[in-house]
Amino acid sequence: MSSYLRYDFANPDNPANDHLIFSKGHASPLLYSMYKAAGAITEDEFMTYRRFGSRLQGHPTPVLPWVDVATGSLGQGLPIAVGVALAGKYLDKLPYHVWVLCGDSEMAEGSIWEAFDKASHYKLNNLIAILDMNRLGQRGETELGWNSAAYVERATAFGWHTIAIDGHNLDEIVRAFDEAVQPREQPVLIVAKTMKGRGVSFLENKENWHGKALNEEQAQQAISELGGQRTLTITVAKPEAARTAPPPSGEPLALPTYEVGSKTATRQAYGDALKALGSARIDVVALDAEVSNSTYAEFFGHAFPERYFEMFIAEQQMIAAAVGLQVRQYVPFVSTFAAFLTRAYDFIRMAAISQANIRLCGSHAGVSIGEDGPSQMALEDLAMMRAVHGSTVLYPCDANQTAQLVAAMADCSGISFLRSTREKTPVLYSSDEQFKIGGSTVVRQSDADQVTVVAAGITVHEALKACAQLKADGIAVRLIDAYSVKPIDRQTLHQAAQATQGRLVVVEDHWPEGGLGAAVLEAFTVDGAGDGAMNLKLLHLAVQGMPGSGTPQELMDAAGISAAHIADAVRRLVR
C-alpha cells in the first residue's frame, strides 16, 4: 500500500487519487486497519467497529470519505471499479489506478465475469484486481479452492494479464505490483494464494471461523503469535497534482419540443432529451445494454460517442459502471428495457447504500408493448424502483413531459427512474407547460366531478378516452396524471379525493402490487402532522392475468386497464 497506492487521505476528492475498492466488503477490518495505519482514523474510532452510530460499519459504506462505494453484496466491487476505470481512462484521462480486492467466493458471481469481459473490451489498463484466494468461504471450501491455474486460465481467456503469487511472500507481492503497473493494454489480475488466519495456530486454514470474533484470550494469543505488534504507521504517497475535473457546462439547454396532437413515443422523447442534455452538460454520460435503437439512447451515442458506453447485454455491469462513473462526478443515464432492469436490482439497491446519483430509463413498460409477449413487459418495475431508498420514480405520458423530466433527472440526487412507453402516443401538453419531480397534472376537472381517475403513462390516454365516454353519460370525471409516482403529489390527490367524495379509480399498466395503486394509497395514510384520515372508495385497475402476445389495445383490454374498463369502474363507483 505504501509504495503503490497514491492517495491523499486529507483530500479524498483529489481527482488524481487512486481508488481502492474492497469488493470483498466483509474484509472491512482489514480496510479500516489500513486507514488507521495511514493515520486517517484514530485508535479510538477504530474500536467503534460495528457499533451503533460508528462510521466503521460491518461492511464499508461511503459514510467514510475514503470509501467510494458500498460493498458487502459480493460481486459488485469489481464491476463498479470498471466504471471508475472507464472514467479514468476515457473521461478524466488521469493516470490514477483503480485497485480492487476480490474474494474467491465471489468469483462464482456472474457479475464478476461481466466485469472481466468489459474491462478487457475497454482495455482498462488502469485496473488492477487482487484475488485473495484463501480457499475458505463462509461455509467451507470454495468451488475452486486453491486452484490458481483455473482462475488464471479463466481471467486470461477473458483478456486479462494475470500474475499468480504466494500472497504471503512479500517479495512476490512487490514483484507482482511492479509488474501490474507496467504499461500495457490490459487490466491485471493478481491471483494471491493465501491462508485465512495465517500465522495464528488455531485459525490458520481452519473452517468455521468466517465472520466470528475472537474472545479476549484468543485475541491475546493471536497477537502474540503474530509478533506482538499492535500498531503500524505508514506514509501513503500522495498523487501528482492533476487538473481538476472539467466544469459541467456546455451550450444552454435546448430541450426538444413536440406539437400537441402529434404522436411521439416517450422512449423517443427520452432519446431526444438526453441528446439535448448532452449538448448542454459535458458531464452527462450514457450507457445502454445493446438496445439503444429501442431505448433511443443511440441519439446520444451518435452525437457524443466519447461519452457513450455500450455495455452490451450485461445489465449488472451497466448499473455498476454508472455507479463507478458517478464516483468521479459524472452524471450517468442508463437505459434498457424496464423489464431487464430487474436483472440489476441488487446493484440498484446497493447503489442507494453507496449514496450514488444515477439515472435509469426503462423502456417498453407494461402490456402495452404488444406482440413481444410477457418476457419483454415490465410489470413489476414501479414496485421495484419505489422500494429503493430515496428513489425517484417518474412515468410520463407524453413527449414534452418526458423531455422536462429527463432534464430534471440530471439534477436529481439518488436513484431516479423514468419509465417510458414503446408505442407512439399523442402529445397532450404544450411544451410550455411545467412538470416537476413531485408534481402531477390535473388533466380534466370541473365543479361537477363525481369521481377522480388517477393514471400515469399509457393509462392517461386510456383514461382520456374513458372521460369522453362518460361525458356522454353525464358523468364528470377529474383526471390526474400522476407522472411523479415517487414522490407522489399528496396534496393534489387529497384535494381531488375531497372534491369527489373519496371516489377514486387508479389505473396502471403494472401488476396490482406495489405500483401506482400502492403509491396513491400510501398517500392517504396519517402523516407526521397527524393528517391523512381517509374515507376512500378506491377502485384499482391493474394488470390481471398473465398476458401473451397481441396488439397493445387487445392486451390492455384483456388486462382490464383500457378505456372501457376505466369507464365501467367509474360507473360502478357512482352507481
Catalytic residues: 315
Return the residues of window 251-290 that contact a second copy according to CB under 8 A. Answer: 290
Smallest gap, in angstroms, from Cβ of residue 507 to a second copy? 12
Q: At 184, is the secondary structure helix, strand, or coil?
A: coil
CA dihedral 37, 38, 40, 45 (to 10 degrees): 0
336 in contact with a second copy (CB under 8 A):
no
Kindly tell me which residue out of 18, 68, 92, 109 binds a second copy, with binding defined by CB under 8 A: 109
Integer Cα distance of 111 and 317 in angstroms: 6
E strand or H helix at 339, and its extent? Answer: helix 338-341
Smallest gap, in angstroms, from Cβ of residue 154 to a second copy? 4
129 in contact with a second copy (CB under 8 A):
no
335 in contact with a second copy (CB under 8 A):
no
Return the residues of window 33-62 that contact a second copy according to CB under 8 A. Answer: 50-54, 56-59, 61
Kindly tell me which residue out of 37, 181, 245, 536 binds a second copy, with binding defined by CB under 8 A: 536
User: What is the DSSP annotation of 445-514?
Assistant: --TT--EEEEE-THHHHHHHHHHHHHHHTT--EEEEE--EEES--HHHHHHHHHHTTTEEEEE-SS-SSS
User: What is the DSSP annotation of 77-88?
Assistant: HHHHHHHHHHII
Read off the C-alpha cell for 389: 431508498
340 in contact with a second copy (CB under 8 A):
yes
- Residues ≥6 apart with Cβ < 8 Å to 483: 394, 395, 396, 397, 401, 405, 435, 439, 440, 441, 456, 457
Kindly tell me which residue out of 185, 251, 371, 411 binds a second copy, with binding defined by CB under 8 A: 371
Kindly tell me which residue out of 18, 283, 298, 462 binds a second copy, with binding defined by CB under 8 A: 298
143 in contact with a second copy (CB under 8 A):
yes
Smallest gap, in angstroms, from Cβ of residue 63 to a second copy? 7
Smallest gap, in angstroms, from Cβ of residue 233 to a second copy? 26
Smallest gap, in angstroms, from Cβ of residue 274 to a second copy? 16
Kindly tell me which residue out of 469, 537, 571, 574 binds a second copy, with binding defined by CB under 8 A: 537
414 in contact with a second copy (CB under 8 A):
no
196 in contact with a second copy (CB under 8 A):
no
Read off the C-alpha cell for 157: 481467456
Smallest gap, in angstroms, from Cβ of residue 374 to a second copy? 5
Return the residues of window 16-35 that contact a second copy according to CB under 8 A. Answer: 25
User: What is the DSSP annotation of 415-434?
Assistant: EEEEE--SSEEE--S-TTS-
Integer Cα distance of 398 and 425 in angstroms: 7
Kindly tell me which residue out of 37, 108, 564, 574 binds a second copy, with binding defined by CB under 8 A: 108
Based on the number of CB atoms within 10 Å of its own CB, is 223 exposed (0-12), middle (13-18) or buried (19 or more)? middle
Stretch that binds a second copy, among 169-177, 349-357, 439-447, 461-469 (CB under 8 A): 349-357
Kindly tell me which residue out of 64, 407, 496, 518 binds a second copy, with binding defined by CB under 8 A: 518
153 in contact with a second copy (CB under 8 A):
yes
Within 10 angstroms of residue 166's Cβ, the number of other Cβ atoms is 15
Kindly tell me which residue out of 96, 99, 146, 158 binds a second copy, with binding defined by CB under 8 A: 158
Comparing C-alpha atoms, which of 381, 393, 308 is closest to residue 345?
Answer: 381
Integer Cα distance of 187 and 97 in angstroms: 10
Integer Cα distance of 562 and 259 in angstroms: 25
Comparing C-alpha atoms, which of 88, 111, 76 is closest to residue 327?
Answer: 88
Integer Cα distance of 206 and 346 in angstroms: 31
Smallest gap, in angstroms, from Cβ of residue 417 to a second copy? 13
422 in contact with a second copy (CB under 8 A):
no
Return the residues of window 67-106 that contact a second copy according to CB under 8 A. Answer: 70-75, 105-106
533 in contact with a second copy (CB under 8 A):
yes
Parallel, antiparallel, or unpaired: how do β-strands 331-337 and 161-166 relate? Answer: unpaired
Stretch that binds a second copy, among 216-224, 266-274, 403-411, 510-518 (CB under 8 A): 510-518
Comparing C-alpha atoms, which of 64, 77, 52 is closest to residue 355?
Answer: 64
Q: Are 101 and 132 in contact (CB under 8 A)?
A: yes
206 in contact with a second copy (CB under 8 A):
no
534 in contact with a second copy (CB under 8 A):
yes
| Closer to a second copy by Cβ: residue 17 or 76 | 76
| Closer to a second copy by Cβ: residue 1 or 291 | 291
Beta strand spans in 63-175 (E): 98-103, 127-133, 161-166
Residue with cell 402529434: 262
Stretch that binds a second copy, among 1-9, 81-89, 193-201, 519-527 (CB under 8 A): 519-527
Number of residues that bind a second copy (CB under 8 A): 112
| Closer to a second copy by Cβ: residue 236 or 321 | 321
Stretch that binds a second copy, among 195-203, 254-262, 264-272, 534-542 (CB under 8 A): 534-542
- Residues ≥6 apart with Cβ < 8 Å to 293: none
Integer Cα distance of 236 and 231 in angstroms: 16
Integer Cα distance of 353 and 414 in angstroms: 10
Kindly tell me which residue out of 353, 358, 399, 410 binds a second copy, with binding defined by CB under 8 A: 353
Q: What are phi and psi of 324, to 5 degrees?
A: -65, -40
| Closer to a second copy by Cβ: residue 373 or 439 | 373
| Closer to a second copy by Cβ: residue 307 or 510 | 510
| Closer to a second copy by Cβ: residue 77 or 278 | 77
Smallest gap, in angstroms, from Cβ of residue 16 to a second copy? 29
Integer Cα distance of 352 and 418 in angstroms: 16
176 in contact with a second copy (CB under 8 A):
no
Return the residues of window 454-493 that contact a second copy according to CB under 8 A. Answer: 486
212 in contact with a second copy (CB under 8 A):
no
Return the residues of window 538-567 that contact a second copy according to CB under 8 A. Answer: 538-540, 546, 548-551, 554-555, 558
